Amino acid sequence: MKAIISGAGGRMGRALMESVKDFPEIEVVGLLEKADHPAVGKEIGGIRVSSSWENVSDEAEVIIEFTSPRATLEHLSMAREKKISMVIGTTGFSGSEREEIREAGKTIPILFSSNMSFGMNLLFHILEEVSKKLPLDYEVEIVEMHHRHKKDAPSGTALTLGEIIASARGKDLSEVAVFGREGETGERKREEIGIHALRGGSVVGEHRVIFATEGERLEFAHTAESRLSFARGAWRGALWLIHQPPGLYSFQDIIVGK
């Protein structure tokens, strides 16, 4: 498989380049970065970083995207034009931007997941089943922490956790989400799903889901100690994706065959 890495000079770009050595069936044939990035024009792993698609190989079968919503949508347009698959790990999209990605899935295969970690995606599946079985008097709180440089809050993963739990309980997250609390908030409503974002230091990613009822608390936690877990997941996803017909897929399609 021949791949392009977008955001090659960033944290995830470097993790992707480091981890690709574990996948001998993958060849990186292009590296992209925004025009003003200091990595442009330099080589990473023997490949020159470019700010233009014109300077990357036409043989690419997939592009891996962990950047910003704006850059991702720009590259999505090029992926559609070149008819190549796209793995999207970018977060922070608006509703209309997510709709644009859904529309693009009608013409090319797209793997779109807020978290590419195998462990977290297994937790997504587990929490769906748990949420269906626990009585509604188990109240839900989600706490996430990331490094100080993360630009969106709460994390896309925390929102996905909330969406999965809300859906399993027959609700839409927008109806029940409470983002942090301050002041005279009144008594907690049972159906609320509290979501709290912490930022600081160099934390790669921590997520904790708490189900609390009178006299008992059930907790699930996932800690990402390295971005390599996301990078390896993205490569595994790309290898799966290039054999799929056009469509919008999530990591759940890979891990549990949904």
CATH classification at residue 84: 3.40.50.720
Q: Which residues contact 204 (CB under 8 A, 6 or more apart)?
A: 146, 147, 224, 225, 226, 227
pLDDT at position 258 is 52
Q: How confident is the model at residue 56 (pLDDT cuts 50, 70, 90)?
A: confident
Q: Domains in the chain: how many in total?
A: 2
Residues 83 and 179 in one domain: no
Q: How confident is the model at residue 153 (pLDDT cuts 50, 70, 90)?
A: very high
Catalytic residue among 34, 133, 146, 149: 146
- 158 with 220: CB under 8 angstroms? no
Arithmetic mean of pLDDT, 89-103: 94
Arithmetic mean of pLDDT, 22-51: 94
Under DSSP, is residue 140 helix (H, G, I), strand (E, B) or coil?
A: strand
CA distance 77 to 231: 23
| Residue 92: φ, ψ to 5° | 95, 15
Q: Is the pLDDT of residue 257 over 80?
A: no
Residues 130 and 199 in one domain: yes
Residues 163 and 180 in one domain: yes
Q: Tell me: the pLDDT tens digits for 213-232?
A: 999 999 999 999 999 999 99
Residues 84 and 176 in one domain: no
Q: Is 106 a catalytic residue?
A: no
Following CA atoms 90, 95, 97, 100 in sequence, which dihedral angle do they give, to the nearest 10 degrees?
Answer: 120
Catalytic residue among 34, 75, 150, 151: 150
CA distance 131 to 207: 17
Measure CA of the first residue to CA of the last residue in the chain; give whole Å: 24
Residues 220 and 231 in one domain: no
Residues 33 and 123 in one domain: no
Half-sphere exposure of 117 (CA within 13 A, CB side): 20
Does pTM top 0.85 for this prediction? no
pLDDT at position 252 is 86
Residues 12 and 64 in one domain: yes
CA distance 195 to 7: 29
Residue 3 CB neighbour total at 10 angstroms: 26
Residue 219's closest CA among 235, 208, 227? 208
Q: Please report, rounded to a whole number, the percentage of residues in the chain having pLDDT higher than 70.
A: 99
Residues 102 and 199 in one domain: no
Residue 115's closest CA among 140, 90, 96, 95? 90
Residues 210 and 240 in one domain: no
Residues 63 and 128 in one domain: no
CA distance 143 to 68: 23
Looking at the chain, the number of H-run helices and the number of E-run strands are: 8, 13
Residues 63 and 134 in one domain: no
Residues 182 and 205 in one domain: yes
Q: Is 150 a catalytic residue?
A: yes
105 lies in which domain range? 2-112+227-255
CA 111 → CA 36, 175, 230, distances in Å? 28, 27, 13
Compute the mean pLDDT over every residue in the chain, rounded to the nearest whole number: 94
CATH number at residue 124: 3.30.360.10
